[in-house]
Amino acid sequence: NRNADILTLQEIDIESYNEYFRPNLATEDYKGIFWPKSRAQTMGEKEAKMVDGCAIFYKNTKYVLLDKQLIIFSREAINRPDMKGEHDVYNRVMPRDHIAVVAFLENRATGSRLIVVNTHLAWEGWYADVKVIQVAILMEQLAKLAETYSKWPPCKDKELFRFSKEDGADADGPPPEPAPSMKYDDGTQIPLLVCGDFNSTNDSGVYDLITQGSLSNSHVDLGTQKYGDFTRNGMNHPFSLKSSYSSVRHWPYTNYTPDFQEVIDYIWYSTNALQVTGLLGEVDQSYMRKVPGFPNWHFPSDHLALWAEFAVKGRKERKQVEADFGNGRRRRGGDDRE
Q: Write b or e for each residue in 194-211: b if 16 or more Cβ atoms lie within 10 A of its Cβ, otherwise e.
A: bbbbbbbeeebbbbbbbe
DSSP states along 183-242: P-SSGGGS-EEEEEE----TTSHHHHHHHHSEE-TT-GGGTT---THHHHH-EE-S--EE
Is the CB of residue 262 less than 8 Å from the CB of residue 206? Answer: no
Peptide bond into 295 cis (omega under 30): yes
Alpha carbons 265 and 306: distance in angstroms, whole number: 8
**Does residue 197 have an active-site annotation?**
yes
Alpha carbons 151 and 186: distance in angstroms, whole number: 8
Among 158, 149, 156, smallest CA distance to 192 is for 149
Please state the φ and ψ torsions of residue 269, each to the nearest 5 degrees.
-135, 155
Selected catalytic residue, list 197, 208, 221, 265: 197
In sequence order, the β-bridge partners of residue 67 are: 104
Give the residue numbers annotated as catalytic, written as ranges: 197
